[in-house]
A and B are shown apart, each in its own frame.
Chain A
Amino acid sequence: MPLYAERPPLPSEDKRWRIVNGTMRKHGYSRNALIETLHTVQSSFGYLDEPAIKFVVRSLRVPLSQAYGVVTFYHFFSLKPPGKHTCTVCTGTACYIKGAQKLVAEAEKRLHIRTGETTPDGEVSLATVRCVGDCGRAPVVLFDGELSAQMEAPRLAAQLERWTTQ
């Protein structure tokens, strides 16, 4: 019996697993590469599901509990798949002063969901973020990661309209 279990095979043929494996290899499968690897999984797959986390913990020999602790601790990681589009409203201080709450309310009203949820048809996810650093042109909204500054409720509504009626 080897002292340690063998590294697990890639979960599927999906090429994205090789990218994930590449990150772990770059760090010599070291345990402290956990967060870096999870970042790669999230950027490749959009979220972290159970098979992905299990694959990572077996490869890095980290207890599953520790990985779950890390995933739930950091806001950046998501356990749910995102919608086809994401609308992320910045709620940093500068955006708050310039009325980000109104934008959040507008988006919730238009999409009939609450922040952190995805529309039932899986089209649009609504999220908030703590400052993307474009405070000079607050308030700021990210549409599918693209930054739109000096946002107003009608413009936000128009963009959401385009997504939902497509």
Chain B
Amino acid sequence: MNVEELQQIAAQAQEERDKFDYEVNVCMGTSCLSQHSDRIRDAIAKEAESCGKKCHVRRTGCMGPCAAGPMVLVEPAGTQYGHVREGDAKDIVSALGGDPVARLDPRLGSYFEGQHFVVLENVGHIDPEKVDEYVARGGYEALLKVLTEMTPAQVIEQISKSGLRGRGGGGYPTGLKWDTVAKVKGAQKYVICNGDEGDPGAFMDRSVLESDPQRVIEGMAIAAYAIGATKGYVYVRAEYPLAVQRLTVALREARRRGFLGNAICETTFSFDIDIRLGAGAFVCGEETALIASIEGKRGTPRPRPPYPAVSGLWGDPTLINNVETFANVPPIIRHGGEWFSSMGTARSKGTKVFALTGKIQRTGLVEVPMGMTLRQIIFGIGGGVPDGRKFKAVQTGGPSGGCLPEEHLDLSISYDALISAGSMMGSGGMIVMDDTSCMVSVARFFMEFCMTESCGKCVPCRAGTVQMYNLLTKICKGEATRRDLDQLTELCEVVGATSLCGLGQTAPNPVLSTLRYFRHEYLAHIDEKRCPAGVCECSPAVEVHA
């Protein structure tokens, strides 16, 4: 493979496209597929054939606005249809080249306003199982550029210059991580892609793997070249069968085209990737636990140092990055680190993909530049809280994050701003709650999660989460005293300070942030034995919201 051949593949794919007058892209991500979007695609294809229109019907990955699914995107007009049913195929096809079908308007309002696609740039435009379509949109240009024009040090320099930080939640500078692994001496090194999206309520990694798996593969290959690795693993949750299937096909396709395997693109660089399935353990998102799981063991973390960069998989130097982090790499190489660092805030560069869910008008996947305010995302893109309810809080960062109240809606999103507000970026789940949610029971929900997901290795986490859960239950039942609240606060500090890994260290965060912003709700449960939202056991008879 050289530049000419790459261009030839792209040209061929383009030629294939030019044969058609129209493209009908049908979303076949998990969400739309569960509403039988495969049958919709078949119906449209059949219809187009029977009326003789030159129309290419394509399966694509998630287009974002899941609540309006199944989604269909018609090119070149750029018309979007929502809530499409099989019976709508005829109307969609006959509207090609004319006025769009008005009744299928997804009514997305300002959903796409302010969004900026870097990671999701191909979404809705390529078939995730066809490598050539990815190449036609500039795919693997970056890998080829890296292999033929750049030294590993130059690659790391570009990544460092871009200011990219880990998208899994921690926000560790990616360039620095790569540099560390590159400098460690070792005959065998590994690249691991962390797709163990354990945060319940987040689905960015699932969507990226389902919609554009080649992008992740390319990012991993570039990383492997930069640090000197020859073997990679993608660790995906078994709960995401479609992502696993798409990734399996993508790996086979990439090998067929020679982007993986021996002597990639006629260079001395060799690299291949295997898939490892997770088995439903949240703690495996922690890097040392993930490594143990790949080794076939119980996924328990171990103390660091040594960091995986020095001693990781089977004791060899290992680079672990999140799916979204790798997905950002090809565009950075293509456009240069400076291009990437021109987006975002001073210390958080680029864009971030969020999964916008909960009590919000327009749910779905969004990608926005860092620095956008929570208000813009929730009320602009998401359309605010439905049913005339009042916004109460937004939860970010999953079980490690916190709930932010209305006063913080004008906070511009960056790693540091979220942490100083008592939450964190996390992997990108953003769950909106209205006034029907009780913040104490939300805290209890997360504590129950951490309690059952605690691996049991260290005492503070194993025992502390149980005690905190019991205290929160007591508060919810209206049986707690002020002393219990003090004890809860103290336990939060102890568990946070003394736990072995991130799970335990951050487990108190949902409690701490709700205590900080919604202390009055805790006090209502304790002093008045009353749940202001009317959801807890202590006030079953009080229906505040009829």
Contact = CB atoms under 8 A, between A and B. Distances in A.
Contact of B281 (A66, A73, A131, A137): A73
A130 to B, nearest CB: 5
B273 to A, nearest CB: 15
B433 interface: yes
A76 B238 contact: yes
A157 interface: no
Interface string A24-61: 00000001111110110000000000000000000000
A39 to B, nearest CB: 5
A92 B201 contact: yes
A19 interface: no
A96 B445 contact: yes
Interface in A58-107: 62, 66, 69-70, 73-77, 91-98
Interface centre among A32, A33, A35, A148 (most CB of B within 10 A): A35
B530 to A, nearest CB: 20
B66 interface: yes
Given A39-B238, A93-B431, A97-B433, A133 B279 contact: no
B401 to A, nearest CB: 10
A152 to B, nearest CB: 15
B298 interface: yes
A147 B206 CA distance: 15
Interface size, B (range)? 35 or more
B30 interface: yes
Given A39-B279, A97-B358, A133 B197 contact: yes
Interface in B411-468: 429, 431, 433, 437, 442, 445-446, 449, 453, 455
A138 B432 CA distance: 12
A131 B239 contact: yes
Contacts of A97: 357-359, 431, 433, 437, 442
Contacts of B35: 149
B76 interface: no
A39 B280 CA distance: 12
Contacts of B437: 97
Contact of B203 (A36, A39, A130, A135): A135
Given A93-B398, A94-B201, A130-B280, A32 B433 contact: no
B34 interface: yes
B277 A93 contact: no
Contacts of A153: none
B279 A135 contact: no
A14 interface: no
A63 B229 CA distance: 31
Contacts of A35: 276-277, 279, 293, 296
A94 B282 contact: no
Contacts of B280: 74-76, 129-130
B123 interface: no
B359 A137 contact: no
Interface centre among A130, A133, A135 (most CB of B within 10 A): A133
A94 B455 contact: no
B429 A75 contact: no
B129 to A, nearest CB: 19
A135 B277 contact: no
A136 B359 contact: no
Nearest to B433: A97
Contacts of A117: none
Contact of A133 (B67, B203, B356): B203
B363 A137 contact: yes
Contacts of B455: 73
A129 B355 contact: no
B299 interface: yes
Contacts of A134: 30-31, 34, 66, 203
B350 interface: no
Contact of A69 (B277, B282, B298, B398): B298
B240 interface: yes
Contact of B34 (A34, A38, A66, A147): A147
Contacts of B478: none
A92 B280 CA distance: 13
Interface in B23-56: 30-31, 34-35
A94 B357 contact: yes
Contacts of B282: 130
Contacts of A70: 296-298
B479 interface: no
Interface string B70-103: 0000000000000000000000000000000000
Contacts of B296: 31-36, 62, 70
Interface string B282-300: 1000000000011111110
Interface of A: 31-36, 38-39, 62, 66, 69-70, 73-77, 91-98, 129-138, 146-149
15 contacts: A36-B296, A74-B279, A74-B280, A76-B278, A77-B279, A93-B358, A93-B446, A95-B200, A133-B30, A134-B66, A136-B69, A136-B356, A137-B363, A138-B358, A148-B34
Given A93-B431, A130-B239, 4 more contacts: A35-B277, A95-B201, A134-B31, A149-B35
